[in-house]
Amino acid sequence: MIMKKIILIPVFVFISLLADSHIGSPGVTFEGKAGSYSVMVLITPPDVIPGTAIIHIYTKGTGIESIWAKPVYWFAGSKGTPSADEMLPVANEPGHYQGLVWLMEAGTSGITLEIKGSADSGSVLVPVMAVSTTQREMPTSLKWILFALCVFLVGLMITIISVSVSDGLVKPGETITSKIVRKRWIGAGVSAVLLVLILWGGKSWWDGWASDYKRYMYKPLRAYSTVSQSRGRNMLELRIDTTRHSSLNYTRKLSYVVPDHGKLMHMFLVRAGSMDVFAHLHPQRKDSATYITPLPPLPNGKYLIFADITRLSGFSETIPDTIEIDNKIPATLASMDSSTLNRDDTYFITNPFSTSKTNQTVTDGIVICGKPGIKTSLPDGSTAIWEHAASESIISGKLYGLSFTILDENGKPAKLDPYLGMMGHAVVMKDDGSVYIHLHPVGSYSMASQQTMLNRFEKETGPVNWAKLTLPAVFMDSINQVVAQLEAMSEEDRNKKLMGDMQHQVDGDHPEHSIVTFPYAFPSAGNYRIWIQMKRNGKILNSAFDAVVE
């Protein structure tokens, strides 16, 4: 197959919406246990640092006495934690608590939640990437109010200065001569000039402040993707531009990338607009800033690329890019859902996004995406259901446990296997490309990020000693070895290793392993597609669902 590649398309508008390890979806979700209490958590980090994160906690647990939250920073260590703040119960909503936590510095932080109850107490750490992502404009009404106050203050000050050098020096009862009046006008003129100069100075100061802020604002890493042929296969190479870091230089260093679920990079390709083609790949590292992967036989079109990485610092982020795949001879696809590549890589072709509330009929082996509450057939004979009543609308900003049940050929609950150490992976995307997120049953945070912070807080207490960090080349080498070892393991051994390393439950509250739940809050109204990836009978089982969020 001949493929032409690389058409670098100007990076999409959504890049401005990008916030840490997801795009356009700033909320961090968590589902799991703190002590014996099951909780679902939604954290909305501030878009300006220093700022406050809003925390919502939902629990069905009984006997909870209090819930406390505090921020932790990877670089500051466990001792660098301020006292916790109590999260307060929300009136008339049993089991719902909320509160604020202040994030004062940019970097990898986390919110530690501690639940104290009659049975026991326990804590969880939810990673939050603290970065400034927004530059606000002043609201027009405030602009006019401040302008009016400014004009009044300037006018009053000119008056004050003019009378201070004239009338104010005349004893009560003495005549105000024309000389005094002249002084008054001179005072007014001179002070007006001075005040204009002062205002001009103030404006330059403000401008300087704004440009400094812009400079240190979080900017997503830029990447340049190319496709080339090698040994009859199409290879995608992603080169990351490391020259544009303006802040968090250590925190975001690419030499310190650590594996998440055993992979250095999780790359997702989605055909732009129709969202009908989806691929989940795991590129290999060529050098610290270059990643390479064989491409599955994807149909022509423009693709959005989302590449997720996490560092030793716990800083995880998504690197966005686009490529145009232009096969000279149209690809004949052996299967619409094949894993002809690496055992963990997969791609998947479905019908384009549709807003109809009923399922379309299956044609030409293309998998039809499910709708809330309606069964959909999957290529291996099983069926999947999104456990959400079709009549019940989905509201943006509300935290949902998105539950998916898999039934086998006989309509009985299917037994699912772990896939990369989890019972399921999900990707949620909005049809305009403005929202992208990679979810797990435990939430939307990077688990490698959680792990790296927990490891550090267990072993060290004080601030990071940058000078003592392992040299980049040595670090990369040892990580490459770990990844290679994992690659060489059998599926069973590897799952054992991956699940053992992660201090979390693989599947929330569903030990029967036929239902997988992903905690998520859709950030805005619109058309979304959710791809669910699970493993059954040793094979990756893909399904997709469409949702119209109000």
* Site pattern 306..325 for other proteins (x: CB under 8 A): --------------------
Q: CB-wise, 139 or 538, nearer to other proteins?
A: 139
Q: CB-wise, 8 or 160, nearer to other proteins?
A: 160
Q: Which stretch binds other proteins (CB under 8 A): 77-85, 222-230, 388-396, 516-524?
A: 77-85
If one asks whether residue 138 binds other proteins (CB under 8 A), the answer comes out as yes
Q: Which of residues 94-113 bind other proteins (CB under 8 A)?
A: 102, 104-105
Edge-first strand listing for the sheet containing 436-439:
18-19, 22-23, 436-439, 425-430, 526-536, 539-549
* Site pattern 450..469 for other proteins (x: CB under 8 A): -------------x------
If one asks whether residue 49 binds other proteins (CB under 8 A), the answer comes out as yes
Contact with other proteins (CB under 8 A) among 63, 82, 365, 472: 82
Cα separations in angstroms, 520 against 156, 214, 332, 433, 533: 54, 30, 37, 18, 16
- Burial (CB < 10 A; 0-12, 13-18, 19+), residue 313, is buried
Contact with other proteins (CB under 8 A) among 8, 36, 50, 246: 50
Is residue 262 within 8 A of residue 483, CB to CB? The reply is: yes
Is residue 494 within 8 A of residue 505, CB to CB? The reply is: no
Q: Which residues contact residue 282 at a Cβ distance below 8 angstroms, ignoring those fewer than 6 apart?
A: 263, 264, 265, 266, 267, 293, 342, 344, 345
Q: Amino acid letter at 324?
A: E
Give min distance, CB of 150 to other proteins, in A. 7
Q: CB-wise, 79 or 415, nearer to other proteins?
A: 79
Residue 253 DSSP code: -
* Site pattern 411..450 for other proteins (x: CB under 8 A): ----------------------------------------
Q: Which residues contact residue 65 at a Cβ distance below 8 angstroms, ignoring those fewer than 6 apart?
A: 116, 117, 118
Is residue 34 within 8 A of residue 451, CB to CB? The reply is: no
Name the packing angle between helices 178-216 and 140-164 (round to 10°): 150
If one asks whether residue 179 binds other proteins (CB under 8 A), the answer comes out as no
DSSP string over 360-402: PPP-TTPBPPBBBTB-EE-TTS-EEEE-S-TTS-B-TT-EEEE
Contact with other proteins (CB under 8 A) among 63, 168, 189, 411: 168
Give min distance, CB of 401 to other proteins, in A. 30
Give min distance, CB of 467 to other proteins, in A. 15
If one asks whether residue 184 binds other proteins (CB under 8 A), the answer comes out as yes
Q: Which of residues 204-243 bind other proteins (CB under 8 A)?
A: 205-206, 209-210, 213
In the block, residue with structure tokens 């539950």: 403
Q: Is 359 helix (H, G, I), strand (E, B) or coil?
A: coil
Contact with other proteins (CB under 8 A) among 66, 81, 98, 505: 81
Q: Amino acid letter at 521?
A: A
Site residues (CB under 8 A) for other proteins? 48-52, 70-73, 75-77, 79-83, 85, 102, 104-105, 132, 135-136, 138-139, 142, 145-146, 149-150, 152-153, 156-157, 159-160, 162-165, 167-176, 181, 184-185, 188, 202, 205-206, 209-210, 213, 463
